[in-house]
Structure 1
Amino acid sequence: MRFKGLVRTALAVLVLIPVAPGVATAETLQWRLCRDIANRWPSGDDRSECAMVTVPVDYAKPDGRTVDIAISRVKASGDRRGVVLLNPGGPGGSGMELPKSILRSRAAGIGAHHDLVGFAPRGVGYSAGVSCQDDLTQPDPSLPEKERARFVAERDGRNHQRCVAQDPEFVRNLTTANIARDMDRIRIALGEDKIGYYGISWGTALGAQYRTLFDAHVDKMLLDSVMAPDLDLVEMDRAQMTARENTFAEFAAWIARHDDVYHFGTSQAAVTRALLDLRTRQTRLDAFDSMITTSRRHWAATARELAALAAGGTLGARAAEENRTFGWDADQTGFSPFQQTAVMCNDSGSTRDFDEVWDARLRLIEQLPVSGRYGSEAVRCVGWPLPAQPWRFTGGSSPLQLVGHLYEQVTPIGWTREMRARIGGAMLTVEDDVHGSLDTLPCAAKAVEFFDTGKVSNDSCPGAPLPPA
């Protein structure tokens, strides 16, 4: 890890609790303004405080090697009743700026009576991690599609093996269960008997894991855009791509209702035929398929683009980049692709055999002709060298609010129902397709009420309205 000059000394965490070696107490945990110590932290932020909590690398060896986990805090603005830890999902994502984000949202009222606490999970951002330089050599374009895919999968597998070899002990312990244990060390460091928790996407699995291990220390827990209770990457592709295929059907029906504007046909079947015919004439199939399975809020603009494309228009291109720095000199929102892969592959018992993954892909394409080819999770763990440590979630007695999104593709609504059957809780249904959108909607008031009173909801609430055609 890398630190600015005096940060290591200023944020040193003392070992004072015999039952939990390496954990700070509320009295010894040293807070400083994040802007004063954390690279790229907004200079105008005068509320966010940062500190480090020391945790064991391997909880089976509590007196062994330790690493530091970065945390952030915005104190309650009113009568303080406790704390709420926050996680934005991933895995691989940092929650360091999530307290500020919540305070800018419709769920800001949570911060009236609760300190909002974000953290960068082990392997992410300012926290301890492994920095990897990947081989990105591309396959020979003349190879058959399957062999090109095999080349990439095996190349990525070798990349992962090199990263694991840098620090096998650390990477082996990149699991949802250990990150949940880190959360409990954060609870102890904050001096709290119980903590609230607000998790989104993979953060819902993290919450389910924390509640499984530490139910007695949960005050209230809200999980938005809920993961399935079992991490099967082949099944993840199937569920996500089924939701994506359903979106295409719903979009075609919507376009048909506005034939006076778009002129693709007056029935869902007619629009489907027209769009699939247009699809056969595209050289950039991935970009076109992204358009016809887009989020509802983009339907009007996308339908206009499709009409223009039918008249001879063209498609654009996209690019991405990643950050690889750790410690207080890192990017506070730095996403870690390797941490994401490590957690998912360590947690999933899915096949790691390329041929099995490819056969599953072919079956999916047959079932879902528009979206089936875009499943990307099943291939992730080809060549992963470490044994699986699957999730084992159980129910609890602490207050639990699940939030599912009726039309969502990333975490399909069925996963929320499956998780509820596994661990219990109430289920609020949001009538939208936007991943983790609760805090952007008027029904975020239900989240504020839940953390203030413990009142759960089994109701539904509307999402943002569709734009006019």
Structure 2
Amino acid sequence: MPRNRVAIVLLATTMAALTAPALASASPASLDWKLCKDVAKGWEPADDQRTECAMVPVPVDYAQPEGRKIDIAVSRRKATDPARRRGVVLLNPGGPGQSGIHEPRWITDSKAAGIGVDHDLIGFDPRGVDYSADDVACPPLPGDDAEPPSSLPDKEKARFVFERDAKVNQRCVTADPEFVRNLTTENVARDMDRIREALGEAKIGFYGVSWGTALGAAYRTAFDSRVDRMLLDSVMSPTFDVGAMDDAMVAAGEITARDFAAWIARYDAVYHFGDRQPAVLEALLKLRDEHGETVTNHLAGPRREWANAAKALAALRDGGAPSTKPVAGQGRGFGWDVNPNGFNTFQQTAILCNASEGPRDFETIWQRRLERISAYPAIASPGFWNGRCAGWPLPVQPWKFTPGTSPLQLVGHTYEPVTPIGWAVAMRERIGGALLTIEDDHHGSLSSLPCASRAVEFFSTGKTDDGSCAGAPIPPPSGR
């Protein structure tokens, strides 16, 4: 799951890849490190020239380790105190589909920068993203974004979109079925172990956010003895179903919307929606019925944006224009010559749909959508992931996470709608570890808070934490 608001072969083959081929150990490679700015097209000009880049070859299919290969792009920032260096920490920002090669610089610029004092910080683009084999030959075609005729009833509009997306999914899988069926969380974890080998490290630390927490759980499941310390922030559910993910996210968003209405009621002198939560909620839902998704996005927005959201909603009520969201472009290329854009939507779809244990047929998905809208009327959302796996033709490879003994720190966020706190509790029950609770709703916020010091301490000492810490405060209301 990316960091936004409201911001996957048969079982026998999978199990074979989890055992002998995945665990086979090669001699450490001698990586050809170069300054990223000298080799990587489009590298960020703000980089201070500390970041080095290299490529690590991995098999496309770990069940056939001598078969087709791809290169995984890796970055490094060396420990700033070499005398205290105790190893490496691999970093993943989430997604899936999100680039991670810039993570070492971003962590260096965060409140968790202390991790890089005694550890090399290692970033990488997961397979299928930017510099790491972002080469599925599936360019968009006319009709891929076609909208249903406005005259159709709601169910037939949904069916139109489902069938449109199913054709795109099937075409993209057919373009390179071997590569696409091997776009899995477990294979990215195996790629991480090849990175470990190439670095010449017996063990690695890992810091993962959002989907990166599932990646960490997959690595620890397969390679527990090779984990030094692992921290997982904004934790995914240990079982995966895109429909269930929507259910949990919309339920959390419903709570946020009602809390937001209560907050606005406390500042009626500023926003004039009413001084009681029920009246404010009624007014907001009326506004939503008139303006749609623009209002819904504000209702489920994070607490740090409540003042701005309330101001925008009041302006919209009084005749202001709705805001629009930017649309990201697509970059293409190969290896260091890729045109990086930081994200690959189809890689995300493949990772998720290869793992999702939920239904893939239209009628079941439609019924779940109706139930979701009915159960959570303030948000009344069909779900962000609803229908993502339409027509997905490959067999399910479900996540099978298991407990380990290596040091594990989980981090959950009390009010967060993107990865609800219940997922962190469920993951702890499945794989173990300590759970630090942050009193905020900000996805993956640990590195931006003062209590990032606890992450630094964990990687330096191994001390885990079952306590809590404060998030950023809600800003005061802004005048109109």
What is the TM-score when the length of structure 2 is the normalising length? 0.90
The structure 1 segments of at least 4 consecutive aligned residues displaced by more than 6 Å after TM superposition are 18-22
Picking from 211, 225, 235, the partner of 2:244 is 235
Of residues 352-361 and 132-141 in structure 1, the stretch that sits farther from structure 2 once superposed is: 132-141
Shift of 1:22: 10
Gaps of 5+ in 1: 1-17
Name the structure 2 match of 1:286. Answer: 293
Letter in structure 2 aligned against 1:60: A
Shift of 1:302: 1.6
Please state if 1:465 is matched with 2:467: no
Please state if 1:133 is matched with 2:139: yes
Other structure's SS at 1:199 match: strand
Name the structure 2 match of 1:34. Answer: 36
Shift of 1:319: 2.8
Letter in structure 1 aligned against 2:313: L
Please state if 1:77 is matched with 2:80: yes
Other structure's SS at 2:436 match: strand
1:83-134 per-residue CA deviation (whole Å, 9 max, x = no partner) reads 0000010110110000000000000000000000001111111011314213
Name the structure 2 match of 1:121. Answer: 126
Name the structure 1 match of 2:151. Answer: 142
Please state if 1:298 is matched with 2:305: yes
Letter in structure 1 aligned against 2:432: G
Of residues 99-108 and 251-260 in structure 1, the stretch that sits farther from structure 2 once superposed is: 251-260
Picking from 304, 312, 315, the partner of 2:319 is 312
How much identity, in percent, do the aligned residues show? 59
8 A Cα contact 1:131 1:324, kept in partner: no
Shift of 1:136: 2.4
Letter in structure 1 aligned against 2:225: A
Picking from 395, 407, 412, the partner of 2:420 is 412
1: CA distance between counterparts of 2:255 and 2:408? 29
1:369-411 per-residue CA deviation (whole Å, 9 max, x = no partner) reads 1323240213111100100000000000000000001111110
Between Structure 1 and Structure 2, how many residues are aligned? 449
> What's the RMSD between the two structures over aligned residues?
1.7
Letter in structure 1 aligned against 2:138: C
1: CA distance between counterparts of 2:147 and 2:315? 34
Name the structure 2 match of 1:367. Answer: 375
Q: List aligned pairs for 1:147-226, cutoff 5 A.
A: 147-226=156-235
8 A Cα contact 1:84 1:116, kept in partner: yes
Letter in structure 2 aligned against 1:306: L
Other structure's SS at 1:461 match: strand
2: CA distance between counterparts of 1:313 and 1:446? 44
2: CA distance between counterparts of 1:276 and 1:372? 10
8 A Cα contact 1:40 1:331, kept in partner: yes
8 A Cα contact 2:127 2:188, kept in partner: yes
1:134-165 per-residue CA deviation (whole Å, 9 max, x = no partner) reads 32233222222221221122111111211111
8 A Cα contact 1:201 1:411, kept in partner: yes
Letter in structure 2 aligned against 1:201: S
Name the structure 2 match of 1:49. Answer: 52
Letter in structure 2 aligned against 1:295: P
1: CA distance between counterparts of 2:117 and 2:221? 28
2: CA distance between counterparts of 1:306 and 1:67? 49
8 A Cα contact 1:22 1:56, kept in partner: no
Name the structure 2 match of 1:63. Answer: 66
Other structure's SS at 2:381 match: helix
8 A Cα contact 2:370 2:382, kept in partner: no
Letter in structure 2 aligned against 1:222: L
Picking from 438, 447, 453, the partner of 1:430 is 438
8 A Cα contact 2:196 2:204, kept in partner: yes
1:307-326 per-residue CA deviation (whole Å, 9 max, x = no partner) reads 22332223122230232314
Gaps of 5+ in 2: 1-20
Name the structure 2 match of 1:102. Answer: 107
Other structure's SS at 1:68 match: strand
1: CA distance between counterparts of 2:112 and 2:276? 40
8 A Cα contact 2:22 2:62, kept in partner: no
Please state if 1:91 is matched with 2:99: no
8 A Cα contact 2:329 2:341, kept in partner: no
Please state if 1:271 is matched with 2:280: yes
What is the TM-score when the length of structure 1 is the normalising length? 0.93
Other structure's SS at 2:228 match: strand
Of residues 366-375 and 243-252 in structure 1, the stretch that sits farther from structure 2 once superposed is: 366-375
Letter in structure 2 aligned against 1:193: A
Other structure's SS at 1:70 match: strand
Of residues 189-198 and 165-174 in structure 1, the stretch that sits farther from structure 2 once superposed is: 165-174
2: CA distance between counterparts of 1:118 and 1:433? 26
8 A Cα contact 2:252 2:416, kept in partner: yes
Shift of 1:20: 7.8
**Cα distance 1:445–1:208, how it changes in 2: closer, same or farther (>3 A)?**
same
Shift of 1:275: 1.9
Picking from 331, 351, 356, the partner of 1:343 is 351
Letter in structure 2 aligned against 1:113: D
Name the structure 2 match of 1:356. Answer: 364
1: CA distance between counterparts of 2:22 and 2:329? 39
Letter in structure 1 aligned against 2:316: L
2: CA distance between counterparts of 1:407 and 1:104? 26
Other structure's SS at 2:435 match: strand
Greater relative contact order: 1 or 2 (C-alpha under 8 angstroms, separation 6 or more)?
Answer: 2
